Structure 1
Amino acid sequence: MSVIPYPEVTSLFKYMPWPGFARDTLLEQQIWYSSMSAFNDPFEGIYEIQDDISVHVAIALAAKVRAYSHWDDVEGYIRTRVLHSRQNSLALSDDFKAVVKQHVEAAREQIRSLGVLSLSMVPDSILLWSHYADEHKGICIEFERNIDEDSGILENSRPVIYSDLYPTPSVDQLVLDPRALTNKVVYTKSHHWAYEKEWRLWKDKGNQKHPLPGPVKSVILGSNWHGSQEDIRRICRDLNADLVQAKIVQGRYDIEFETIQHRET
């Protein structure tokens, strides 16, 4: 039986203004994945690639590129096309450096074209409600994590790592793992954003809609929400999702929730 990665995280949350994309997201059951160049943080997508390729990784790549079944064939290719003698040492040939450059550029192109969905692990962040849900007039959608859904697949979905430094994958890492650059860049963000407790999903193509990352478990209305109750209740019934009202807690800076319409069990 498959175990969902990060089993302690059972739901993920998306703060959105209402109606706008939020209503369309619920009705169409599709959500927008943005390219990283469209994010509001100009530091997003900045990275540095460290060092040149090492000889042992070049040999591994040569074996992979040639797909030979016998080591003698790989060894011959490496000796004649990959490495050559220079000042009593081994160096990469110019032809093979071009192959490496192609791998690095393919990784860069993946970053440029992919789409990212930003979610949070918490539904009660006053700052997130203010910044992304139209000053608490919008909604927060709760997506249930499921091993069969995008939010439960580790290769495309995981928490953000907050750092003081830009992601710096090495050429070796990019050659051995085509997704190394994507995994480093997509899931690394400045420590200044740590309060968001962000979780990200990515797709190969950005700036377009993709299926929801999981079933809608609840729709939370902001404390200043003033939309049509009839409309949102109908949408939640169709989705079989709880409808929840966020409220400002008296006496302290906090948010509490009240379920105003339960889903069928």
Structure 2
Amino acid sequence: MKGTRPAYWKALIDVRQELLKFNAPTEYAFQNLENGVIFCQHYSAYNDPFEFWSNIHEGIPNAAREPERFLAALAAWGFEFSSIEQATSDAGFVQEALGYFDECKDNGLPFQSMREEVRISCFASDRDNLLMWSHYADGLRGFCLAFDEGKIMDTVSEGYLAQVAYTRTPPAIDNLVYGISKDQEWYHEMAIEEQGQNPDYQDAADEAVRKMQSVWQEVFATKPVEWSYERERRLLVQTSRRDTAPISHPYPREAVKEIILGERMTDDNRSRILGILMQHYPAVTVKTARRANASYGLVFD
């Protein structure tokens, strides 16, 4: 699905966090490092059975049968009501709202097909996360790559980075809300362009962008709260594939800022990685993650 990366993709991430890839000491991990690629999979290949587990609502809601959707659509338009009864008390306003919803219903994106075509690679945010070193780097026998996210994103014209949100229930995703928010951003940006800077217009445009960002996160980056220890960030690469096969996404060698080796890595594996670094990443910083003496923590030297 081409041309789908939102213009505000940078706001989907927290640039103060690191972009870390934990790896077990496997042949695949060594080959990926040697070849300068990131392994990206279809969502069905991941170990979380609730990946992308949510419904995507389409079309215009019926106020009587779908009051929550109707109220959410009105809120995206800029009209907040405390109840569906209040919102529908004026028949003329309801007809006007339905007409506006009809104008916006095709502004959404084909999120369901995009989910099938997207390929995902998962990253972490904290290098001292003990569970990440245990679960994904074989108990300090593996290694962790620290990437420059700007250089990674420069290689992905049809993709984006997203912070994962952790929730207790699956999100209710509404493509109409996205379409209305898209229209509201356009409308208020045009008003600013034509009439000059106006705080009210800017606030409305910013709120529309926040709603669109929220929908993107709900569609592509929401998981059960039990996974929150990972503090995951994910790279999503949009493809046009019709299958579930993974892809290997290449990156420039200078995108690797640092590599952290686990202290329990075997001498053979350490020698192999250092050989790869000498040949392909001669300027990269190399550190070792070691168990702290007086705490259940890690030190890096």
TM-score (normalizing by structure 1) = 0.69
Matched, 1:158 2:135: no
Report what 1:225 is aligned to: 265
Query: CA separation in 2, counterparts of 1:140 and 1:44?
Result: 24
Q: From the superposition, tell whether residues 185 and 171 of structure 1 become closer, same or farther in structure 2 (CA, over 3 Å).
A: closer
Q: From the superposition, tell whether residues 90 and 121 of structure 1 become closer, same or farther in structure 2 (CA, over 3 Å).
A: closer
Please give the residue correspondences for 1:75-114 in structure 2 after superposition, counting only pairs within 5 Å.
106-114=110-118
Report what 1:45 is aligned to: 52
Aligned with residue 149 of structure 1, among 152, 163, 171: 152
Please give the residue correspondences for 1:34-73 in structure 2 after superposition, counting only pairs within 5 Å.
34-50=41-57, 52-53=59-60
> SS of 1:149's equivalent?
helix
Report what 1:24 is aligned to: 31
> SS of 2:275's equivalent?
helix
Q: From the superposition, tell whether residues 152 and 12 of structure 1 become closer, same or farther in structure 2 (CA, over 3 Å).
A: farther
Report what 1:216 is aligned to: 256
> Structure 1, residues 17-67: CA drift from partner, whole Å, max 9, x if none?
113222112111111111111110111111123474269xxxxxxxxxxxx
Aligned 8 A contact 2:43 2:51 in 1? yes
Query: CA separation in 2, counterparts of 1:152 and 1:165?
Result: 34
> Structure 1, residues 57-103: CA drift from partner, whole Å, max 9, x if none?
xxxxxxxxxxxxxxxxxxxxxxxxxxxxxxxx6999xxx9xxx69x7
Identify the structure with the greater helix proportion.
2
> SS of 2:56's equivalent?
coil
AA of the residue aligned to 2:293 = Q
Q: From the superposition, tell whether residues 229 and 39 of structure 1 become closer, same or farther in structure 2 (CA, over 3 Å).
A: closer
Report what 2:228 is aligned to: 194
Q: From the superposition, tell whether residues 184 and 212 of structure 1 become closer, same or farther in structure 2 (CA, over 3 Å).
A: farther
Report what 1:72 is aligned to: none
> SS of 1:246's equivalent?
strand
| 1:201 CA drift (Å) | 1.1
Q: Which 10-residue stretch deviates more, 240-249 or 207-216? A: 207-216
Aligned 8 A contact 1:136 1:222 in 2? yes
Query: CA separation in 2, counterparts of 1:174 and 1:50?
Result: 11
Q: Unmatched 5+ residue regions in structure 2?
A: 1-9, 63-94, 183-211, 240-244
Aligned with residue 295 of structure 2, among 241, 245, 252: 252
Aligned 8 A contact 2:155 2:251 in 1? no
| 1:249 CA drift (Å) | 1.0
> SS of 1:156's equivalent?
strand
> Structure 1, residues 130-178: CA drift from partner, whole Å, max 9, x if none?
11112221111111222x5318989611211111121211130354569
> Structure 1, residues 107-131: CA drift from partner, whole Å, max 9, x if none?
2111112111110111111111111
Q: Unmatched 5+ residue regions in structure 1?
A: 56-88, 259-265
Matched, 1:132 2:136: yes
Identity of aligned residues (%): 25
Query: CA separation in 1, counterparts of 2:112 and 2:48?
Result: 19
Please give the residue correspondences for 1:169-184 in structure 2 after superposition, counting only pairs within 5 Å.
169-173=173-177, 175=179, 183-184=217-218
| 1:228 CA drift (Å) | 3.8
AA of the residue aligned to 2:33 = L
Report what 1:204 is aligned to: 238
Q: From the superposition, tell whether residues 7 and 107 of structure 1 become closer, same or farther in structure 2 (CA, over 3 Å).
A: closer
Aligned 8 A contact 1:49 1:171 in 2? yes
> SS of 1:49's equivalent?
strand
TM-score (normalizing by structure 2) = 0.61
Q: CA RMSD in A?
A: 3.5
Choose between structure 1 and 2 for higher RCO, CA contacts under 8 A separated by at least 6 residues. 2
Identify the structure with the greater strand proportion.
1
Aligned 8 A contact 2:42 2:120 in 1? yes
Report what 1:8 is aligned to: 16
